[in-house]
Amino acid sequence: MKRIITYGTYDVLHYGHINLLKRAKALGDYLIVALSTDEFNNLKGKKSYYTYEQRKKILESCRFVDLVIPEENWEQKINDAQKYQADIFVMGDDWEGKFDFLKDYCEVVYLPRTPDVSSTQTKEYLKGV
C-alpha cells in the first residue's frame, strides 16, 4: 500500500483544496492529512473561521481522505513520515523546495495550485457579501 501525506489548514474548504486532495490521493492508496491545530495556527499568525474539530470533520467526510491527524508544529514532518510510513509527501507548488529535506524519508511532490482560488480570497469575498 502506497501512503501519501500532506499538510494544511483547510479552512473554508474550496475546489482548490479538493483538487489537491484528489491529485494527492491519485498518487497512492492511502491519504493522510495533517491538519493545523488552532494553537499552531495562532503561532503562525493565522485565524481560521472553523475550529480544528470542525475542519477535521469536514476533511473526514471527503472521499479522498483516509486519515486526519493534528499538525501541531513545523518540526513534526520527519516524525510523521516515519510514524505513518509515508511513501510520498505532497504540498502545493507555492511551497516548492521548502520540504526537500524530507527526501531522505520519502518522495517529495509539489503539485500545481488550482488557479484563481484561495481561502484568503474566499474569506475576503465573503466579508463583502
Sequence-ordered strand ranges (E) for 12-125: 30-36, 67-71, 88-92, 107-111
Name 33's bridge partners.
6, 68
**From the candidates 2, 22, 25, 46, which is the catalytic residue?**
46
Alpha-carbon gap, residue 84 to 65, rounded angstroms = 14
Cell digits for 13?
474548504
Name 69's bridge partners.
34
Catalytic-residue membership of 46 = yes
Among 69, 96, 61, 53, smallest CA distance to 3 is for: 69
* Contact indicator for 33, 8 with CB cutoff of 8 Å: yes
Catalytic-residue membership of 44 = yes
**From the candidates 2, 44, 47, 103, which is the catalytic residue?**
44
Residues annotated catalytic, as ranges? 44, 46
